[in-house]
């Protein structure tokens, strides 16, 4: 039988009037109807392990399907009084093109927490097919209103980048309406641009292939930011415009400048480096880099003084991480463009950015956790030694 809202309303009214619940159940479900919003449950491809396949099936049955049901249908599977009915009657619900059997679920014992379950599935993913399943899972969770937070999206992206699955990241961003992974969330944007573009290129030693890929990705991502579901007009009206953040422009400048330096004999014949610099100078005039908040001055809500200091060191590390590509981009741009009317602007910006990075790195070195490595410190030290 297919469960629909109209039928359930009829059933509850008839139950209240004292009729036999079993008779009412059979009569009320005699007609079928589609839900007003057509949603489609994800169908997962074969996984690389039985454990991952079982986990995905559990998520599908205990998180996704309940999330796709309407209120009356959820009452049917969650309320104890219908448990025996579901065990004895063949009752189904139509979700998209699929008819799924309904089973009783104990809310307290049978429903896994969505983030730990999703995180475990991500950590178990090994093959490209596994990661495509993660995309399908993201879409399913988004449709089921079992939302994943921006911070959790950022962790998913970081793990995908570590697994060398950048195409999966781009696909998740391209299909933002389906996945909910939006570049309007700064934590997401940081992982995509800093982890997916800058750090992957650095780790490759800026090989020719990696340099071209970094430029392609940086260009592609900044273009995607223009879409309404990312950082388009609606988001700009609501507050900070991430498209005009110096560190965002810095990643694009660095990728563009390195590409011209390594692949085009250090020439800017098409004017792309100059264009990036001009845009950055324009932004810096409106929002001076000197005015960026001091990461060590941000209030940390904890009574533990040691923990507060370590957290400030983490904030300082993140701050330096965001500015290092900007400094490097300005440095390479200065080399490529040579003597121009932009010299003073580039030199001034470089000096301010270097000061802000150095202050942050000094704090990390003085107060950071001794058993932790901070990439920003290593990168900045290497830059200073080679300059």
Segment 314-349, tens digit of pLDDT: 999 999 999 999 999 999 999 999 888 788 889 999
Which region holds residue 265: left if phi is over 0, alpha if psi is between -120 and 50, else beta? left
Q: Is 130 a domain residue?
A: no
Percent of the chain at pLDDT above 70?
A: 88
Task: Find the domain containing 321 and state its range.
Answer: 245-387
Query: How many domains are contained in the chain?
Result: 2
pLDDT confidence of residue 36 = 35
What residue spans of the chain are helical by DSSP H? 5-16, 21-28, 50-59, 65-68, 71-78, 83-88, 114-124, 128-143, 150-162, 166-174, 176-179, 186-190, 200-203, 208-224, 233-238, 246-263, 272-286, 305-337, 343-367, 375-386
Taking the C-alpha atoms of residue 142 and residue 218, their distance in angstroms, rounded to an integer, is: 26
Q: Is 296 a domain residue?
A: yes
Q: Which of 205-209, 247-251, 262-266, 345-349 has the lowest mean pLDDT?
A: 345-349
Q: Which of 59-63, 276-280, 341-345 has the lowest mean pLDDT?
A: 341-345
pLDDT confidence of residue 235 = 53
Q: Is 253 a domain residue?
A: yes
Is the pLDDT assigned to residue 375 strictly greater than 90? Answer: yes
Q: Is 264 a domain residue?
A: yes
Q: How many CB atoms lie within 10 A of CB 372?
A: 11
Taking the C-alpha atoms of residue 148 and residue 39, their distance in angstroms, rounded to an integer, is: 18
Q: Is 286 a domain residue?
A: yes
Q: Which of 365, 375, 315 is nearest to 195 (CA)?
A: 375
Is the pLDDT assigned to residue 191 strictly greater than 80? Answer: yes
Q: Is 79 a domain residue?
A: yes
Q: Which of 21-35, 51-65, 278-292, 341-355 has the lowest mean pLDDT?
A: 21-35
**The whole model's pTM is what?**
0.87
Q: Is 96 a domain residue?
A: yes
pLDDT confidence of residue 253 = 98
Q: Is 349 a domain residue?
A: yes
């Amino acid at each position: 039988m297919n469960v629909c809202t109209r039928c359930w309303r009829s059933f509850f009214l008839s139950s209240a009037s004292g009729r036999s619940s079993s008779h009412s159940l059979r009569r009320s479900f005699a007609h079928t109807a589609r839900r007003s919003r057509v949603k489609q449950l994800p169908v997962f491809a074969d996984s690389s392990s039985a454990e991952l396949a079982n986990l995905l099936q559990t998520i599908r049955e205990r998180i996704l399907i309940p999330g796709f049901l309407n209120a009356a249908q959820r009452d049917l599977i969650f309320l104890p009084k219908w448990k025996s009915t579901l065990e004895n009657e063949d009752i189904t619900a139509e979700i998209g093109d699929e008819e799924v059997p309904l089973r009783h679920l104990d809310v307290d014992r049978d429903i896994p927490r969505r983030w730990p379950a999703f995180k475990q599935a991500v950590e178990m993913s090994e093959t490209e097919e596994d990661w495509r399943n993660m995309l399908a899972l993201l879409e399913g969770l988004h449709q089921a209103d079992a939302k994943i937070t921006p911070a959790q999206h950022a962790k998913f992206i970081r793990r995908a980048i570590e697994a060398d699955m950048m195409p999966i990241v781009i696909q998740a961003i391209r299909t933002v309406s389906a996945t909910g992974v939006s570049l309007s969330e700064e934590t997401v944007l940081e992982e995509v641009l800093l982890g997916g573009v800058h750090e992957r290129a650095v780790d490759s030693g800026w090989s020719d292939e990696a340099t071209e890929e970094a430029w392609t990705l940086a260009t592609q991502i900044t273009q995607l930011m223009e879409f309404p579901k990312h950082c388009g007009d609606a988001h700009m009206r609501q507050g900070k415009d991430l498209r005009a953040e110096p560190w965002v422009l810095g990643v694009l400048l660095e990728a563009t400048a390195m590409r011209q330096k390594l692949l085009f004999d250090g020439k800017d014949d098409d004017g792309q480096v100059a264009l990036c610099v001009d845009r950055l100078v324009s932004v810096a005039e409106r929002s001076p880099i000197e005015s960026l908040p001091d990461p060590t001055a941000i209030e940390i809500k904890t009574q533990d003084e040691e923990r507060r200091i370590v957290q400030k060191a983490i904030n300082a590390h993140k701050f330096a991480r965001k500015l290092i590509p900007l400094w490097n981009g300005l440095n390479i741009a200065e080399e490529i463009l040579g003597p121009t009317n932009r010299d003073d602007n580039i030199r001034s910006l470089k000096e301010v950015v270097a000061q802000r990075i150095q202050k942050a790195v000094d704090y990390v070195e003085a107060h950071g956790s001794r058993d932790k490595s901070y990439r920003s410190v290593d990168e900045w030290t290497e830059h200073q030694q080679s300059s």
